[in-house]
Amino acid sequence: MSVFYGYISLKSIIFAEILKSKTYNMIKKLLFCALACITFATATADEGMWLPNNIKSRIKEMRKMGFKLKADDIYSDDKASLKDAVVQFGGGCTGEFISPDGLLLTNHHCGYSSIQKLSSVEHDYLTDGFWAMSRSEELPVPGLTVTLLVKMEDVTARIAAGENETTIIDEAKKMHNADKAKIEPIYYGNQKVLYVYRTFRDVRLVGAPPSSIGKFGGDTDNWVWPRHTGDFSIFRVYANANNEPAEYSENNVPYHPARHFKVSTKGIEEGDFTMIYGFPGNTQEYVTSDAVEYVAEVSIPMKIALRTIRLDIISEAQSKDVATRIAYAAKHANIANAWKKWQGESLGLGKLGTVEKKKEYEKAFAAWAADKPQYANLLDSMHAAYKEVIPHYFARELFNESILGMEFFNFAYWFHIYDASGQKLTADKQAEARKSYLNDYRKEIDHAISRRMLSEYIARMPKENVPAPLAAAIEEHGTPEAFVDHMFANTLILTEYPLTREKYIADPMVQFAGWFADALAHNREYAYRNLSNVPAIEKWYRTYMQALREWDKERAFYPDANFTLRVAYGTVTGYENADGEYHTHLTTLDGIIAKDNPEIYDYDIPQSLRDIYKNKDYGRWAIGKNGKQSVPVCFLASNHTTGGNSGSPVLNGKGELVGINFDRTWRSTMSDIEFDPAICRNISVDIRYVLFVVDRIGGAGYLLEEMGIK
């Protein structure tokens, strides 16, 4: 029996574990009622993540939906365009310029780790918020970068003609005075696109609402509609005197972007055109049923189960101590985000019947391909490749979720790889490592998590894949938990500095990390974006994509997301949640007040917001809804988004900023594999709520003036 099929049998056990979890119990009602009325449709106007430099092919359709600008307003190599106002924020989110002086908007959750780094018990910016009242008060964020796309170019023909990829990259960097360039394959390598970037390293925090606004609803409301989260933070990008990227310096000045977005205060209505411009991270719309079956039935259940354990331990510790809550805030959020997303994705794929639909699609393809020698046996080859690779890929994912879930492992292995190279660590390097890994570290939390993670690893990993020294150590101590206790009781790397070489070599945590050298090498061999990107499988997808585009000529084939700049367009719209239950497109301050509960951390809003509501002191930000005055908060649209689109600007038909994208509805999370236009919706914070908070909560009205709002 293959390793893969042995793991499938664990599915019922895994979900039983999850259902027992106290963390999961907080949202179990959502799990069993959130996925109704899902229908299937082929590619529609709302589906797709399109290359900006090829957007001319979509302009006609966009104009029908309400877009007023031209293709070269979206992307141009010759003049300033909307792409010059969009940046990749921190490597994993999107941000947008909203003033000529480098003022930048993104999500609160995108800026969360930066805000956390700057926070302390004395200055708890996560809890209380932060507002710089002048540029001198803006706080530098060490290590934070934003990346601006300078140019993109389809270089498929150039490479086919014999040009060297490295030469193309080097020439592009020199030509455009850029520090970064890369060639990314799309359509599984059928096309290759050059991207040229400039990286800004002096980024400063300007403003952030208290977490009771920026993270309102917390993990409870994550991926849920109705939503009432003021998910935004404000930064500023600085450059040198020549308006070029530079390391942090007091002499740097605000960066002047070639283009920034005009902020619209006119609001949105049902049916209005919306465009998302950002850096979506990962989709796999064209994978076969083998991949979907693995994701839904094997990978996701395992990852949910292990993250549930970690979240329960962290949450309990956070509830007992303020400093711990701050120290582990970003860690908890990072673990929980994908954890909850996977739950919706798994149930959504099941409800949609994606595996079975993929199989039917493949049957139709096979019938077409039967008399074509180049394609006739393609699906059989792909199935065989999946059967060969899946056990290895699962082992990698299990290692990532269990062993790498132990905080000490990363610290210990950092030292290990340097020692293995034979190079002596300098005192500065050791100090840097200690600060990086131990700054927000709690030994007791890591100890509790490590006991559970090693136990799960041993239980789920085939014995032949467990490092022999680890197996021997567990046998010596009796159980995985007892061996972890031994490591924590006898390690010196967490407490003693500097270590002699003898103590370092003898340290049990360092030895533990060393045992996984082969596993990490194996991990790197399968460390690809998705299972389908593993070379042994991906080589077939290039041909498969070519064949699909020959066969299914009515289908709109857009490239899968890969953290490169994309355009997605749709409309402001609600959706039918259940029979007779329609979710409208807009939420307001009324909904925040309805959820307000000082006894629950996720719903304890600032008193200032309660006072504003009580007095109906909305000022210019008031709107009429259902016969009374309120303040708009969030809205729904039908744009195709995914991770990486967090912080993306939401634009109206005139290219004006009307919102900041930050989430999808829970039933939309399967859109990374299958987009369903009936229910897939992205969630954005209304820019009017952002301005309201800046103005009335933050008292930073000068920022509105900088945005050109009078």
Active-site option among 646, 648, 668, 671? 646
Q: Is there a catalytic annotation at residue 260?
A: no
Rounded CA-CA distance 84/151 in Å is 10
Residue 519, Cβ neighbours under 10 Å: how many? 18
Q: Is there a catalytic annotation at residue 532?
A: no
How many CA atoms does the CB half-sphere of 126 hold within 13 Å?
28
According to DSSP, residue 696 is labeled I
How many CA atoms does the CB half-sphere of 527 hold within 13 Å?
9
Q: Residues near 165 by Cβ (< 8 Å), separated by ≥ 6?
A: 159, 183, 192
Contact 244, 177 (CB under 8 A): yes
- E-state strands within 621-687: 623-625, 628-630, 632-637, 649-651, 657-664, 682-686
How many CA atoms does the CB half-sphere of 195 hold within 13 Å?
22
Active-site option among 231, 440, 672, 676? 231
Phi first, then psi, for residue 94 (nearest 5°) are -120, 150
Q: Residues near 9 by Cβ (< 8 Å), separated by ≥ 6?
A: none
Rounded CA-CA distance 250/238 in Å is 10
Angle subtended at Cα 687 by Cα 226 and Cα 65, rounded to the nearest 5 degrees? 80
Nearest CA among 646, 706, 688, 687 for reference residue 102: 706
**Computed from CA positions of residues 267, 273, 279, 282, in that sequence, does the dihedral angle turn out positive or negative?**
positive
Burial 668-686 (b: 16+ CB within 10 A, else e): bbbbbbbbbbebbbbbbbb
Active-site option among 46, 81, 99, 109? 109
Tokens 């010759």 — which residue?
78
How many CA atoms does the CB half-sphere of 179 hold within 13 Å?
12
Q: Is there a catalytic annotation at residue 109?
A: yes
Phi first, then psi, for residue 328 (nearest 5°) are -105, 10
User: In the beta sheet, which residues pair with residue 566?
Assistant: 278
According to DSSP, residue 295 is labeled I
User: In the beta sheet, which residues pair with residue 50?
Assistant: 567
Of all helices (H) and strands (E), which one includes residue 292?
helix 289-294
| Active centre residues (catalytic) | 109, 231, 646
